[in-house]
Structure 1
Amino acid sequence: MINRILEEVAAHGSFLITTHESPDGDAVGSSLALANYLKGQGKDVTVYLCDQVPDIYMFLPLADTVVHTLPERAFDICFVLDVGEFRRAGKEISNFRGIGKFINIDHHPDCEQFGAINYLDSQACATGALIYRIIKAAGHDVDYETALCIYTAVITDTGSFRYSNANPEAFDIAGKMVVKGINAWSVAEKLYESQPQNRLELLAMALATLSVSKRGDYASIVVTLDMYDKCRADAELTDGFINYPRSIRGVEVAIFFREINEGRFKVGFRSKGKVDVSALAAAFSGGGHHNAAGCTISGSLPEVKQVVFDLLEKSL
């Protein structure tokens, strides 16, 4: 599969790169790693995201060149990274007719095979690891800019090597990126110790909503539109909030209810391993990994919480 991708890269000159809505570190890191690599090969590259690049990832090379409106032109190839399902790349990509061929690269289990080429490996720690494999298979060295993006993809998607996907390849790639000059402390500082004050204010309000089941095996927090208004914040600042209920001793599943508009909630799930939360999300037409998944549910907050908790009770 990698050889087929390299053949397409060699045969074409213009490339569009995109990833999923509400992009995380792997989505942004893998997209920009691929963009840096392709530009280094003299290719014409555009990175398009349907949502803004979160501020904490703006230190990555080429992050300031990402566009959020598709240009009125054609592209030979569109790389779609880390989406799980094609619809998660956004409606603009779905309706865009200026693409010759889609190449799908992903590590989500049961990823939709929508591409002319589908390079899928659910055992990979991150989509960034798949990008690294492609570059190495091409026989090219990884430059500093690309290494920084790959390292960020791996460290964020493994939870700084705390999650079950922190496999030997994850440590191997991270080590090789450090050899390329990546300063692990500098990246960690940018990702975890440079947060704005209003993020902590929002977190304090979210933690005040903490709810733990009677058995102590699942816990949840909530962020509402009203909280955003009070803290002058937005959804971008909620990245990582779900790890707080997940960290409680005895909790197997954490749930994060995030209001996206009146009567509609994004629901994130995190598992410590015993529960396949991708199955929970799938019950509400969502998806994800065994230990991390999400969906969107309509209804009032009490209604949404009730249907989720009812399903959790059955699962646990």
Structure 2
Amino acid sequence: MLNDIIRSIRTSQRFLIASHESPDGDAIGSTLALTLALKKMGKDVVAFNVDGVPAHLSFLPESQSVTTCLAPDESFDVGFLLDAGELKRAGIPLQQHCDLLINIDHHPHSDFGDICYLDTEASATAVLIYRLLDAGHLPLDIDVAKALYVGVLDDTGSFRYSSANREAFELAGILVECGVDPWQIASSLYESFPGTRMRLLGLVLNTLDISACGRYASVSLKQEFLVQSGATSEESDGFVNYARAVKGVEIALFIKEQADGIYQVSFRSRGNIDVGTLARQLGGGGHHNAAGARIPAESLDVARSELYRHLDLLLN
């Protein structure tokens, strides 16, 4: 599989590198790492994300080059979709723009594309990008290494999640040898938040709701919180982990009210509890222990009650 991808890279010139909507550190890190490596080979590369680069990831090299739109007639020899889980999560019809579509992912149920490189045992898609660069002897300098490190760091929860396997730690060591400064990356990711995010966090934490059984908990974001805090929706990234940090909680939810009456929910779980399957039942997707979906509801209370009903069934 890797040889097929390497051959496509060496024999093609124009590339599109895309990842999923509402991107996280792995999506953006993987996108930028591959983009930078291909550009260093002299390739013509466009990095795309329908929602752009979140502010807290804008410190990464080449982040300013990620575009949020493509011309209807723009075409590419090869398109990569990274970390997406589903083709629709690219936000645009990628297949209409690309002669060849390559899917690289560590999500389950992600077997689409003309070439599909999928490994659900990998801790992050960034790990798969590193394997590709290493196997093809493609460029790996400090800028590429920073992007890969952010991808691994983000998807392993700073090496706290069960996905933090031996390969993740070994790759982190390799990237540090390439010149990555772990403190600098951690400071940029976790210690450089605007005051608006902290005000928004205070409002969201006031919504903490713990189930009677104590096994699941939720926090919620209402549209009015954004007005009160002056924050943007993307500044709420990671808030689900505060519900997950409650002792005894096995499933955490972050329910985010959208302007159109849709509620975006992020799930996090511990151990053998599979929230990925639940998210797919709700029209979303994700991993065994980290997933998300969007549901319609008349109000936040209705959305929360419906989600709790699903959780009671799952836990029982």
- Normalised by the length of structure 1, the TM-score is 0.97
Matches of 1:263 and 1:33 in 2, distance apart?
36
CA separation in 1, counterparts of 2:176 and 2:94? Answer: 40
Distance in 2, matches of 1:103 and 1:170, equals 23
| 2:57 maps to amino acid | Y
Q: Deviations over 1:68-120 (max 9, x none)?
A: 11144321011000000011110xx2177331111000000121x22100000
Alignment of 1:177-256 (within 5 A): 177-256=175-254
Whether the 8 Å contact between 1:61 and 1:145 is mirrored in structure 2 is yes
Distance (Å, rounded) in 2 between the aligned partners of 1:164 and 1:177: 21
Identity of aligned residues (%): 45
User: What is the match of residue 89 of structure 2?
Assistant: 88
- Pair 1:64 & 2:64 matched: yes
Letter in 1 for 2:84: V
Give the residue type in structure 2 aligned to 1:172: E
| Cα distance change, pair 152–283 in 1 and its aligned pair in 2 (3 A) | same
Q: Conserved in 2, the CA contact under 8 Å of 1:20 and 1:81?
A: yes
* Long gaps (5+) in structure 2: none
Structure 2 equivalent of residue 51 of structure 1: 51
- Show the counterpart of 1:298: 296
Q: Secondary structure in 2 aligned to 1:102?
A: strand
1:311 aligns with 2:313: no
How far apart, in 1, do the equivalents of 2:112 and 2:314 lie?
Answer: 31
CA contact (8 A) 2:81 2:101 kept: yes
Q: Secondary structure at 1:83's aligned position in 2? A: coil
RMSD (CA atoms): 1.1
Q: Specify whether residues 314 and 98 from structure 1 end up closer, same or farther in structure 2 by C-alpha distance, changes over 3 A only.
A: closer
Aligned residue among 260, 263, 268 for 1:270: 268
Letter paired with 2:146: L
- The answer to whether 1:103 aligns with 2:102 is yes
Q: Could you tell me how far apart the structure 1 residues matched to 2:15 and 2:225 are?
A: 40
Q: Which moved more, 1:245-254 or 1:229-238?
A: 229-238
How far, CA to CA, are the matches of 1:215 and 1:14 in structure 2?
55
Report the equivalent of 2:33: 33
1:262 is displaced (CA, Å) by 3.8
- Distance in 2 between the 1:64 and 1:253 partners? 36
Query: What is the rounded CA distance, in whole Å, between the counterparts of 2:56 and 2:76 in structure 1?
Result: 29
Residue 137 of structure 1 pairs with residue 135 of structure 2: yes
Structure-2 change in CA distance of 1:115 and 1:96 (3 Å):
closer
What is the DSSP-based 3-state SS (H/G/I as helix, E as strand, rest coil) of the residue aligned with 1:254?
strand
Q: Aligned in 2, Cα 1:278/1:204: closer, same or farther, shift over 3 Å?
A: same
Task: Flag as ranges the 4+ runs of structure 1 deviating above 3 A.
Answer: none
Deviations 1:132-176 (A, max 9, x none): 000000124511110000001000110000001000010011100
Q: SS of the counterpart of 1:261?
A: coil
How many pairs are equivalent? 313
